[in-house]
Structure formats: C-alpha cells, structure tokens
A and B are shown apart, each in its own frame.
Chain A
Amino acid sequence: MSWILLVEQALNGLQFGVMLFLMAAGLTLIFGVMGLINLAHGSLYMVGAFAAAAVAAATGSFVLALIASLAAAALAGVLIEATIIRRLYDRDHLDQVLATFALILIFSEGTRWAFGSFPLFLDRPEALSGTVSLPFGIEYSRYRLALIGVGLAVAAGLFWMIAKTRVGIRIRAGENDREMIAALGVDISRLYTLVFALGAALAGLAGALIGAIQSVQVGMGEPVLILAFVVIVIGGIGSVQGALVGAILVGLTDTLGGFLLPKAFALFLSPAAATSVGSSLASMSIYILMAGVLLVRPKGLFGGA
C-alpha cells in the first residue's frame, strides 16, 4: 500500500524535523540573545553523542547515557563560552565564523584523537525496540515515535520556559535590549553563559538521540549544523517559533522529497532517469525551499520586518 508508506515517510520527516528543532532552537536563541553565529554548535551535538555512547558502553543504561549527553554538552558549552566565545560577542560576524570554525577543527580532531576514527554504536533501549501498531494498519518504529514525543515535549517545555518563567523573561528582555536589562541589575554575563549552556545541552541531547539511529562518529555534527542553519534562516533568525516551523518544513521536505520526487518523475521519464533526476533534485530540495522563502521574505517566515 503506497499511502501507508507515505504516512510512514511523513512520520520520518516529522521525526527528523523535531530533532532538527533541538539543534536549531539553541542556535537561534544564541543568535537572538548574544548576536553570535556559532558554527561549533555541531561539535556540541557530536560531544553529546560521544558522551552518550561512552556512558552507554560503560553502564548499559540509556537513561544515564542521555543524562551524560546533556551534562557533557552543557559543560563543553560553558567551557568554550567562558574561555573563547565570550570574547566574540562584540566582534563582527566574520570573526565569529572563523573562531568557531577553528573550534570545529579543534573539537573534531580532539575527538578523533581520543576515540579514534571508527564509528561507535549506541544501542536503542530495549523498551523502545521493534515497532508499534498505529491505526489503519500502520507499523512504525517505536524508537522513532518516541523521538517525536521527546522532541515535541522539549519544544513545549522551551516555549513554556520562555513565556512564563523569570529566566525566559530575561532571555526575551536580553533579545530586545541588552544594555537596559544590564542596567536593571541582571547579571548579563551569567545570562549569556546560561543561554549558551542551554543551547549546548539541547544540541547534545539531539546528538545522543540521533546517535542511536545513525552511527556516532567524528564529523557527524556538521551536516546537521548546516541543515539547522537552513532551518533558522527559513524561520527567521532569533525566533524559536520560526525554528519549530522551519524545522518541521525542512524535515518533511527532505524526507518526502526523497520519496516522492523519483516517483513524480517516473510518470514521464524512464525509471533509471527518473531515479537519478529525482534523487538529485531531492537532495537539493531544501535549499530550493530556502531560496524560495527568502525571495518572498528575506528575513525568514517569523523574522522581524
């Protein structure tokens, strides 16, 4: 049944989208509050995945592995924020790009030195293996379904935190006017460290969760980082809602494009040609989506005027 396959692909797209959101939320918050473009965000994702794989191998517990990924990524985030990133807030974007590019080189090679070039494997927890039966006879991976649930729960928690809590109010105030909230007695540098650690922890969590589907290896962070950039450009840099909408759009376009485009071209091309044209177009589809959005709204869907 083709439509069952379609629903499964749509769920895969949603799962990919919510994981992208975990990455994009941190990037967009860090940009919104501190005005920093952080290429090393993908390295924090990798740190989370490696920490999870190492702890899972030592203890066998997936929950401990997730906690380790959050802690390790947040710690790495605090460390680089306090030593390097802090000096970059007042610099122009070129300096930020280069310094964080340098950080990627250091993180990647450092990890390769510590763990070697071979990929590590992180097993899914026993309770979430196998498939689950959804209505209309759809069988779907239990783990991927759990990822959608976790992703949406984190998104809801993040929105609640930003809308309702004192920290969230300070973050929003920091986006609007840094000098003003500093004048009102908020310790701005602690707020910056906190936001950076929060973004880092979300990236690390995403790394651990995805690490159980794919392999854990050096360089795993950068493809996701670039997609997360596309997400926040589509959504509007600095907007968490925009990041959520953008992430789900990109997730669905990427997954459904790879599934539907070859089939669409098969209607009027030979099967071999349809597969090759369809799959090359599919791999470009999210960038075409991004170009389209920017043509209509140069500041993204949720960006300021």
Chain B
Amino acid sequence: MRGPQDLGGLPAGPVDPAVHEHVPTHWEKRIDAMMMLLFDPKRRLARVDESRRMQEALGEDYHKYPYYERWLQAISWLMLEKGVFSQEELDEKQREVRARLEAERRGM
C-alpha cells in the first residue's frame, strides 16, 4: 500500500523555482533547531526514520500540514512515546502557553 509520503511518480503540478523559494521564518527555524538537537550525538533522542514514521502516521492529513508543522507534530509524538514528557504535562503546558500567547497577540 502506498503511504501518504510515497509521492514518487504520482501526477503533480509544475515547479516554479522563482516562486517556490521560501526563507524559513524564525518560528520554523525553532522547530528545525529542536529536531536537529534531538538528533544530535549528545542526545540521540530521535532518528530520521523515527521522525518520518510519526509524520507518515498522519495519513491523509500529511498533505494538509505545512512542512514544519509536520515536523513539530513528529517531535511532540516522539517525546510522548519516549516518555520525555507525558500527555498530561503537555496539555497543561499548552493551556498555560495558549493563554499567554492570546494575551500577547491581543496586545500586538
């Protein structure tokens, strides 16, 4: 069975190298940095194939996610799977962060 990531040979649209360049935003770089740090020899908390397994687990949603949000989801699931933090801790932290970000955005 072809997984959502397995794109080789499928019909697709044109590539416009002038338009399809994109300098990563600072937020995207933070995700990139987290992934690289988790991969590095000091931590070895994740490997490329593990990250891919998590992204491919998105199924059809794989294509709806922007690239770095897929990475972010993979990091979060991997850390849960490895017991680095629990779902409860993540939920609690997200509630706290969300309130902070909403206040920050209102003040923008």
Q: Do A and B come from one complex?
A: no
